[in-house]
Amino acid sequence: MAKFVDGYVLPLPKKKVAAYRRMATRAGKVWRDHGALEFRECVGVDLKVEWGPTFPGQLKVKRNETVVFSWIVFKSRADRDRINAKVMKDPRLAKMMKEPMPFDGKRILYGGFRAIVDL
């Protein structure tokens, strides 16, 4: 069965990478506790490419920022919808949402994807 993936790309101030890692680790535990198969957070270190549009260019990343590339894997879209509904009601996430975020939530790129290759 094809899996379903929620993907995120966002700019992050370089000085807030450690704070983001702490927040994402806590959030990842919530998603995994409710059934997500994988929870990945990656920070950009090699973002200067010679061809095509770049993540920094598309996100209008400032000199003091980097890019975070993240994804959560689910068994299916229906499973994603069920898990995300539980996550949004989880008191651990509600508590985190009251804390200052280490990134600008208005600059997140997000989408849901059906996996077509899974090796």
| CATH number of the domain encompassing residue 89 | 3.30.70.100
Q: How confident is the model at residue 105 (pLDDT cuts 50, 70, 90)?
A: confident
Q: Please state the rounded mean pLDDT for residues 6-27.
A: 96
**What average pLDDT does the chain have?**
93
6/20 Cα distance (integer angstroms):
18
Range of the domain at 92: 4-114
Cβ pair 81, 88 in contact under 8 A: no
- Answer whether residue 66 is part of any domain: yes
Q: pLDDT tens digits for 51-89? A: 888 888 888 999 999 999 999 999 999 999 999 999 999
pLDDT of 20 > 80? The answer is yes
Q: Please state the rounded mean pLDDT for residues 90-106.
A: 88
Q: DSSP H helical segments within the chain, as ranges?
A: 17-33, 55-59, 77-89, 91-97
Domain total for the chain? 1
Q: Is the pTM of this model over 0.95?
A: no
- Answer whether residue 119 is part of any domain: no
